Amino acid sequence: MLELRLVQGSLLKKVLEAIRELVTDANFDCSGTGFSLQAMDSSHVALVALLLRAEGFEHYRCDRNLSMGMNLNNMAKMLRCAGNDDIITIKADDGSDTVTFMFESPKQDKIADFEMKLMDIDSEHLGIPDSEYQAIVRMPSAEFMRICKDLSSIGDTVVISVTKEGVKFSTSGEIGSANIVCRQNQTVDKPEEATIIEMQEPVSLTFALRYMNSFTKASSLSDQVTISLSSELPVVVEYKIAEMGYIRFYLAPKIEEDEEMKP
Amino acid sequence: MAGGAVDQSLLDLLPQIHALFSDPLRVISYKWLSRNFSVSSNDAKRLLQEFVNKNGTDLQVIYSVSGWLKNNPQNYCVKLTSGPKLEEARQAFKDSCSVQVYSIQASIPKDTAVLWNPEFVQAEELFNQPFDEENCLRDNRFCGVLNSFVKRTSSGKHVSSLPPKPINSAGAAAQSKPSIAPKKQFVTARQQDLPGLSSPKQGAGNKSEKDNSTVFDKAGNALVVKEPSVSAHANKNKAQNGKAIPGNGGSLSNMWGRASAKPKPPATTNSTASAIVAATADAQICEKEEAGADSSDDEQGIKYKRGSSSANDRKRRAVFDFSDDEEDDNIIRIASPELPKQHGLDPVTETAEDTEANPKNSENKDDLPNSVKDCSRGVDSEFTSECKTKSVSTVNHSGITLKEKSIDPPVNDSKQDSTAEPASTSPKRRKVLKTRIDDRGREVTEVVWEGEASAGDKTEKNVTTTAASGATLPSKPQPAANSDKSRAPSKAAGSKKPAKAGTKQGSIMSFFKKV
């Protein structure tokens, strides 16, 4: 028996909108600690990890660990039927092959039940080690989204370089090139507008803008985005979800390589 | 149609036919059957009839109806028709028409080429067999035309020029005689022509076969009418006659094949052998082509047929060149400019042109001398089928000269091709040779039919003809450069994106391990 009651139902709606472009089918894992998801995109270049901790739910009951395979587009369709202020309750019976989304209007005058068929998904669960990153950039998520969008109109890839001066996003394409530098800026009135760079050592990595743009779909979840970079690791683009969890996108960097290296 | 006397030994084949028939895609034609089981065509037809009598319900029969047409009594017509339409077809004929089972199949194929395909493949196989091996195509044992003066040996020493006496079971017997006779004479004529040439090659055989059928067509035109609706069938029938009759032609080509083999260095015999085989196989196509060329525009059915069948059967031909010095650097060949020998002119083509294109021909010969030896199979097929294409457009071979081929710049060349084409009866489709170096470094010559529809092919076409023309030229560099260029861009295009970034997208899997 599974019953998760999420007062801020819009969070779930936003989460779905954020990841459904990247991943079409995924297993939601429910355990005593929370509601989580890990999935790779079809090309195995990016990975999305979602965690909604149990404490974040108004009511969280998960009798036993449960993995529910869902088509995220279908799930998003159903969640779109929920109002932004609705309370969403996820219910599933043990051994059932369906999941039920219940939407309650804030005034409790309308209750909608949507039952969705589950699917069997062979998912490869990857172990993601906790790592020290050479550079961690925290910046306004809207700013990051804007940068990615702008750069993708010029080039396909972005080079993210962190130096002590700031973080530089650069790209080049047929029409030209672009560089955007964001300096550290903590002297703002609002903390969500701050740009904070924690750098152990300079790092510069290249990523496909396509994925970055896809990640920024989660910008509505959080005012701030955290970008963690290490030369040997995938970049982590993390959006905090209220106080209850996070959505993290991992993206493998483009590797500097000559053509000859290819078979 | 002789339902009657079928030998018990033949009847024993019925279970086998049944087994064959169980393959739903198979078309069992009497010709195929005849070759496969080494029975005569008549027996094969009877056998099929027998089979139809026994299992008539669940199979589709294609009959060949032949006789004199009612509406055009001048013309002897052979027509293929499906079972249900048989009566209808018979109405068109005068009283005594002959009806025979042509083939049986599970369903009537949409593409008439399917009818012909198995036979062609079979013929190719048979011709592929070593020379000393007797088979029914070599010794022509089932030929409908018998002549006691003609001595058939596989080495083909002997061909009588006497008009043959047809005993064609097709009921066309007496009538088809006139059309055959000139053909035979033509063969002889060609033969007389040929010895004058330095080294007639195997291809000449098929060339002359081709010529035969041309003449056959010409001569026969007065006699044989092709109904548009069944043109494909009719032609096929005819071609099949043609194939059976110039079974002599087959041995002729063998003979010429021998002759040409001599001047070649021993190393090339392998390829020569296969060349001959293919050449003769080509010849079959030629015949059909010629047959098609003579007839009117509404022969597109036949083009289509051949097109698809050639697509099926002759998609790709790897040419291993075993000849002397190039052996070790097949790959380098792509770019190496000096390969005149490799693509020397082919006497075949000369013979093709000799009558009408003498002046040009002599120029050709200048290019020729040292290359005769080395003609690889690829070249042969190139030329023979070039000739083919040409003769399609200008039945009498005039106007096509290798010289043009080799001298014109590639683009013009292809243009010329296409301009020559409209003159022909079939602007829609044409045969194009594609020569390229495949990834294993072999030179591959593809004979493909290109239709108008495949506009995308056009560039390819150009390249191809370039290659072909280059092949005739002593200077290889042009095609080489061309093909180099043609692949270079693609490669560049392929590598462009990665190169632009100079990076490769890593996989997340290489960073995190599965749990």
Residue A97 clears pLDDT 80, i.e. is over it? yes
* Residues B460 and B490 sit within 8 Å (Cβ to Cβ): no
Q: Which helix (H) or strand (E) holds A171?
A: strand A166-172
The C-alpha of A113 sits at a distance from chain B's nearest C-alpha, in angstroms, of 35
Flag if A261 and B501 touch (Cβ within 8 Å).
no
- Which of A258, A205, A214 is CA-nearest to residue A232? A205
Chain centroid to Cα B228, Å, comes to 22
Does B337 map to a domain?
no
Give the pLDDT of residue B370. Answer: 44
Q: Say which residue the tokens 């890593």 belong to.
A: B506
Residue A183 clears pLDDT 90, i.e. is over it? yes
Q: Say which residue the tokens 């010095």 belong to.
A: B325
Give the pLDDT of residue B431. Answer: 65
Domain span including residue B85: 8-128
Longest dimension (CA), chain A: 66
Residue B435's pLDDT band (cuts 50, 70, 90): low
Flag if A126 and B512 touch (Cβ within 8 Å).
yes
Which of B496, B505, B509 has the highest number of chain A CBs within 10 A, making it the mutation to test binding with A?
B505
Residue A213's pLDDT band (cuts 50, 70, 90): very high
% residues pLDDT > 90 (chain A) = 86
Does B75 map to a domain?
yes
Chain A residues with CB under 8 Å of B502 CB are 256-258
Give the pLDDT of residue B296. Answer: 45
Nearest by CB to B506, from A40, A129, A253: name it: A253
**B69: CATH:** 3.90.1030.20
Residue B442 clears pLDDT 80, i.e. is over it? no
Q: Is B336 or B23 the better-scoring residue by pLDDT?
A: B23
Q: Write out pLDDT tens, residues A124-160.
A: 789 999 889 999 999 999 999 999 999 999 999 999 9
Which range among A210-214, B124-128, B207-211, B396-400 has the greatest average pLDDT?
Answer: A210-214
Does B117 map to a domain?
yes
Does B178 map to a domain?
no
User: How many residues does the structure list for chain B?
Assistant: 515
Q: Give the list of residues 6+ apart from residue B55 with CB closer than 8 angstroms, or none.
A: B18, B21
Which domains does chain A possess? Answer: 1-115 (3.70.10.10), 133-249 (3.70.10.10)
Which of B511, B514, B515 has the highest number of chain A CBs within 10 A, making it the mutation to test binding with A?
B511
Nearest CA in chain B to A128: B512
Q: What is the mean pLDDT of residues B392-402?
A: 41
| Cα separations in angstroms, B356 against B186, B217, B351, B388 | 16, 19, 10, 16
Within 13 Å and on the Cβ side, how many CA atoms surround B163?
Answer: 8
Residue B125 clears pLDDT 50, i.e. is over it? yes
The mean of the pLDDT values for chain B is 55
Residue A90 clears pLDDT 80, i.e. is over it? yes
Does B19 map to a domain?
yes
Residue B143's pLDDT band (cuts 50, 70, 90): low
The C-alpha of A35 sits at a distance from chain B's nearest C-alpha, in angstroms, of 18
- Which of B487, B380, B473, B478 is CA-nearest to residue B441? B487
Chain B residues with CB under 8 Å of A43 CB are 505, 507
Concatenate the DSSP letters of all residues of A123-145 into one string.
--PEE------SEEEEEEHHHHH
Does B351 map to a domain?
no
Whether the CB of B110 is below 8 Å from some CB of chain A: the reply is no
Give the pLDDT of residue A107. Answer: 92
Beta strand spans in B391-493 (E): 429-437, 443-451
Whether the CB of B439 is below 8 Å from some CB of chain A: the reply is no
Residue B233's pLDDT band (cuts 50, 70, 90): very low
Which of A45, A151, A215 has the highest number of chain B CBs within 10 A, making it the mutation to test binding with B?
A45
Residue B48's pLDDT band (cuts 50, 70, 90): confident
- Per mean pLDDT, which range of B3-12, B278-287, B382-391 is the poorest? B382-391
Longest dimension (CA), chain B: 87
The C-alpha atoms of residue A17 and residue A76 are separated, in whole angstroms, by: 7
Q: Write out pLDDT tens, residues B296-317.
A: 444 444 444 444 444 444 445 5
**How many structural domains does chain B have?**
1
Does B30 map to a domain?
yes
- Which of A140, A151, A130, A144 is CA-nearest to residue A208? A151
Q: Is A72 or B162 the better-scoring residue by pLDDT?
A: A72
pTM, entire model: 0.41
Strands A2-6 and A59-62: antiparallel
Does B368 map to a domain?
no
Nearest CA in chain A to B503: A256
The C-alpha of B40 sits at a distance from chain A's nearest C-alpha, in angstroms, of 57
Give the pLDDT of residue B35. Answer: 81
- Which of A144, A159, A156, A153 is CA-nearest to residue A215? A144
Give the pLDDT of residue B422. Answer: 42
